[in-house]
Chains A and B, each alone.
Chain A
Amino acid sequence: MSYNTNPSDFPSHGYVVLERLLSSGQADELYAAFDISRSADRPRPYQAPRPGAFRRTSGRSRGTSGSLTS
């Protein structure tokens, strides 16, 4: 069955097909990019901080601008 490829018929059809908007090479590259993206976005295993890593060792808290380790 044929489909609409004429932008001027959009108002009546509600859609228009743009054939080969991208080259086959561009489409293949983007298709493969899904795999690259998935690999890059894979969550890394959680590593718990070493014991005492965030413990204030001396002095008084000076609010949010203070150092927790000095």
Chain B
Amino acid sequence: MTEPTLLDAVEAALGDDVHLLAYEAIEIPSGGGKDRDWHSDFHFPTDAALVVNVGIYLQDMTDDRGPLYVVPGSHRWNREPTEDEVEAELPGEVKLSLVRGSAVVFHGRLWHTGSSNASDAPRRAIFPYFGRSGSSA
């Protein structure tokens, strides 16, 4: 959580005064997950990033492990995916085929989804959430 590279990126997104709000360790077992399950983590009525989520992946995110997908720019749409969009492949989606130890910092409103873990091993990642201080919002 104190890696300068991580904090620099979080501060670039949120401002200089950030707080660690929570963190989760998430495991998706072999055979788990859906091909797409688009959602955003937070809803706030401003384009400013008030919360960012960070995914730190602990294995190489090959296609069979179920990499994260994002839709760049979707944090500005100020809406949730429709029923038809939730499980669809979306135009402009980007697959994050990360090597293990890599991280992605993303806006709380960004549309994102994990994908199916078709490998024979669990997918494991750590997700810290950072928030902007009220004094600097």
Chain A residues with a Cβ under 8 A of chain B? 1, 3-4, 7-8, 10, 12-24, 26-28, 30-31, 34, 37
Contact B110 A15 (CB under 8 A): yes
B54 to chain A, nearest CB (A): 8
Per the bound structure, the CA–CA distance linking A1 and B91 in Å amounts to 13
A21 to chain B, nearest CB (A): 4
A-B contact pairs, 27 of them (CB 8 A): A7-B8, A7-B13, A8-B12, A10-B13, A10-B49, A12-B73, A13-B72, A14-B76, A15-B72, A16-B13, A16-B106, A17-B96, A17-B98, A18-B6, A18-B103, A19-B102, A20-B101, A20-B102, A21-B5, A22-B101, A22-B102, A23-B101, A27-B57, A27-B100, A30-B58, A30-B124, A31-B58
Contact B105 A15 (CB under 8 A): yes
Bin the interface of chain B by size. Answer: 35 or more
With contacts A22-B56, A31-B58 taken as known, whether A4 is within 8 angstroms of B101 at the C-beta atoms is no
In chain B, residues 65-88, which have Cβ atoms closer than 8 Å to a Cβ of chain A? 70, 72-76
Extra pairs beyond A4-B72, A7-B105, A14-B107 (11, CB < 8 Å): A7-B9, A10-B13, A14-B75, A15-B112, A16-B12, A17-B98, A17-B104, A21-B6, A22-B56, A22-B101, A24-B100
